[in-house]
Chains A and B, each alone.
Chain A
Amino acid sequence: NFMLTQPHSVSESPGKTITISCTGSSGNIASNYVQWYQQRPGSAPTTVIYEDKLRPSGVPDRFSGSIDRAANSASLTISGLKTEDEADYYCQSYRDNNVVFGGGTKVTVL
């Protein structure tokens, strides 16, 4: 089965920049769109990036998405970290007639 692999956790200080990777287990991750969702404790997920690199209205430009074809991975970069960015982040894509989510990355702002 196709899987999207994310680091379990990332920690960094306020004001710094982090990058979360999302690596496809096979095939070409660039062949389908990748989304990124933020989920704060006790809340439903919200979209921070859709279609690889687009931001919904209301999402600050500190959030950006990209695709690295050579590494077969997608990345979410959060710059100027704020304490409010502390949350779980999930990537999502498509494969084999299915919507597939990554396992999630817990971001801690120290």
Chain B
Amino acid sequence: AQSVTQLDSHVSVSEGTPVLLRCNYSSSYSPSLFWYVQHPNKGLQLLLKYTSAATLVKGINGFEAEFKKSETSFHLTKPSAHMSDAAEYFCVVSSGNTGKLIFGQGTTLQVKP
């Protein structure tokens, strides 16, 4: 069975400093992994996805994530945080042929001026 664990429930950074949101996955086969962002009282927006084409995945708004099979990790990074990045971030794995998504618990990113 697939699952994801987000290692930090809250991350706080200063504007202009790097962002690191950590995610570990568990999967019995090569997974499809996603990062989604949710702004307050809004729907979810896809930041990026890994589908085995390349281990370093670039997404929108300067975010990227690296798939590391040996560490079963898919951490999300951004070189320089912006105030507008403050939101809830979800690491997600797709399960089986139906494509249903399994979400991590989420990480709240706070960006301080």
Whether chains A and B associate is no
Residues of A within 8 A of B (CB): none
B-side residues, CB < 8 A to A, are none
